[in-house]
Structure 1
Amino acid sequence: MKRRNFVQSSVLAGGALLASGVLKAAASDKNTSATAGKTFNLNYGIHDGMFKNHAGDDFVEQIKFAYEQGFRAIEDNGMSGRPVEQQKKIGDTLAKLGMAMGVFVQPGLSNDGNMLASGKAEHTENFIKSCQQAVEVAKRINSKLVTVVPGDFERRLPIGVQTGHVIEAIKKGTAIFELHGIIMVLEPLSDNPNLFLRTPDQGYEICKAVGSPNCKILYDMYHVQRNQGNIIPTLDLCIDEIGYYQIGDNPGRNEPGTGEINYKNIFKHIYDKGYRGVMGMEHGNAGKGKEGELALIKAYREVDSFM
């Protein structure tokens, strides 16, 4: 081949490769922009601080940013501790954007101060008072879901007696929530071995005994994985008593895709079962800064692409 023809062929080939690369990049950008802001298939609820690098420290501004990214819900464990005016502002913002409020934690009680398993009157009285306070918070933010943790074991008592005490206390709290259409969701935890409620089957037993649609299980998949695994089979066993889901990969308790849990399969399973409520994003960001927040959004786009 003559040198001139070789050069021309090389230039044309290089141009074709460059054009191909540009087209692929453009297609990728188009796909990204096509999903940016699109509502997710499941209703993932963000936490305060999740998008602070993009939106600042004000949770209201973070909520607005999350809405722009396609999220349509929040949850806030610390809602009860916020000033009343801030609670109202968050509630108003959610109403204007058409976003849902997931769970907040029952106010005024810690695990060691909420030993319902003991059967002691003071613990039951404090629990009932806390339920009444939760109703007032729920009204300000238009919430229908309250997280409840029964507290620690009372190891001097047989487990059946402890369970009976918890059931009786939960019945009294549920009676308060029933008057206001609020659902108490009991959360099995893996944080330490002293906690009474650790597995979904325990929660199932309690909910069946209470016998109210206002008492359900909070199925936090991070804790289920740490305590026992078998997330999908256990979910199926307890599904008629599950009222809420929370997300967190393990190890690390960060966004889906950063650990061992196959959330894409799990989310498809939950969707196919008909659940359309809030899915609480109770986890941290694996990455730092704005890049970490964008990576989190990308991770949810990936695991939500089960349709």
Structure 2
Amino acid sequence: MPRFAANLSMMYQEYAFLDRFFPAVDDGFKGVEFLFPYEFSIAEVALKKNDSGLNVALFNAPPGDWSAGERGIASLPGRQDEFKRSLDTALEYSSALGNSRLHVMAGLLEPGADRAAHRAVYLENLAYAAQQAAPLGLTIVIEPINVRDIPGFFLNRQDEAHAICREVGATNLKVQFDFYHCQITEGDLATTLRQYIESVGHIQIASVPDRHEPDEGEVNFAYLMKLVDELGYHGWVGAEYRPRGKTSEGLGWLRAWE
């Protein structure tokens, strides 16, 4: 079965963030991912990562003003210099944490905004990010996100995301395939994964519709994880869900798939 990485931003909420690494180890995870490490110094996060022996699979570049509702700045006209500075920050963390994937969030498209202008900025910023990340052996990933969870998010569909990657043309720019978001937006998960697997750079899972453990709801994850193996995907699968209770008590799905 695939290699699973615990998402430390959503799982193990019963602990402070820096205290979540070792419970993940105790539960058998070999890798972790998280949204944003920037509240903590590079040294603090690197110490936890190194002491725990965990691999950091992925985290996100700074998203703008998250508390004010921003959800990324990569597609926002007039923010290109800020995007470059934020990328510099993310790459400093990547150099210390050794993650192989960095997620760059597209941002919101406000009502009445010029989508073509946003798309042009997005491609420009993604080309820059991929170029800057290449010397670190780092792959930039972009993620289609459903508009139920994030209304107005710029990028929503797998086909559009893969088209953008082809247009940019960087070998280290790929798509994050989140089964939760894809099911809500477009469904047809197995066929879509088969179609685009060659340019999928990271996978994430959570139940639909409630975003809990992947052992309930409308998606057959046991079937999909077998398909992931059959298609030759060797990357991490991030468990990006909100546990129904204490994280460790809800890991029956992981035990069943080991």
Normalised by the size of structure 1, how large is the TM-score?
A: 0.75
- Look up the equivalent residue of 1:227 and give its one-letter code: T
Corresponding residue number in structure 1 for 2:5: 45
The one-letter amino acid of 2:243's match is: N
How far is 1:156 from its partner? 4.3
Equivalent residue number for residue 137 of structure 2: 181
Match of 1:14 in 2: none
Shift of 1:208: 0.4
- In the alignment, does 2:193 pair up with 1:198? no
Q: What's the CA shift for 1:260?
A: 1.1
Residue 115 of structure 1 deviates from its aligned partner by 4.6
- Look up the SS of the partner of 1:179 in the other structure: helix
Alignment of 1:300 onto 2:254? yes
Check whether the contact 2:63–2:73 (CA below 8 A) recurs between aligned residues.
Answer: no
- Give how far 1:195 is off: 0.9
SS of 1:258 mapped into structure 2 = coil
* Aligned-residue offset at 1:246: 0.7
User: Displacement, 1:215?
Assistant: 0.9
Give SS of 1:112's match: coil
Shift of 1:73: 0.7
Uncovered stretches (5+) of structure 1, i.e. residues with no partner? 1-40
Q: Which has the higher contact order (CA 8 A, sep 6+)?
A: 2
Q: Distance in 1 between matches of 2:62 and 2:113?
A: 27
| Partner of residue 128, structure 1 | 84
Secondary structure at the aligned position of 1:184 is classed as strand
Residues 208 and 103 of structure 1: CA distance in aligned 2, closer, same or farther (over 3 Å):
same
Aligned-residue offset at 1:46: 1.0
Amino acid paired to 1:43: R
SS of corresponding position for 1:44: strand
Quick check: which has more Rg, 1 or 2?
1
**Structure 2 regions of 5+ residues with no counterpart?**
none
Which aligned pairs between 1:2-13 and structure 2 lie closer than 5 A? none
Match of 1:230 among 188, 212, 215: 188
What are the within-5 Å matches in structure 2 for residues 129-148 of structure 1? Answer: 129-148=85-104
Structure 1 CA distance, aligned partners of 2:117 and 2:16?
46
Instruction: Give the helix-richer structure, 1 or 2.
Output: 1
Cα shift at 1:113: 7.2
Partner of 1:3: none
Partner of residue 68, structure 1: 26
Task: Show the counterpart of 1:91.
Answer: 49
Task: Report Cα offsets for 1:142-180 as digits up to 9, x if no partner.
Answer: 112111111122554554443233112211121111122
Aligned positions of 1:158-173 closer than 5 A: 159-173=115-129
Percent identity over paired residues: 22
Do the aligned residues in 2 keep the contact of 1:177 with 1:183 (CA within 8 Å)?
Answer: yes
Instruction: Determine if contact 1:42/1:276 at 8 Å carries over to the other structure.
Output: yes
- After superposition, the Cα gap between the structure-2 partners of 1:52 and 1:186, relative to the gap in structure 1 and judged at 3 Å, is closer
Task: State TM-score, norm by structure 2.
Answer: 0.88
Aligned mates of 1:116, 1:108 — CA distance in 2: 8
> Where does residue 106 of structure 2 map in the other structure?
150
- Per the TM alignment, residue 89 of structure 1 is displaced from its structure 2 partner at its CA by 1.1
Deviates most, 171-180 or 42-51:
42-51
1 CA distance for matches of 2:208 and 2:44?
Answer: 33
Are residues 227 and 283 of structure 1, via their aligned partners in 2, closer, same or farther at CA, if it must alter by over 3 Å? Answer: same
- Paired residues in the alignment total 252
Q: How far apart are the structure 1 equivalents of 2:71 and 2:57?
A: 24
1:272 lines up with 2:239 in the alignment: no
CA RMSD across the alignment: 2.2
Check if 1:248 corresponds to 2:206.
yes
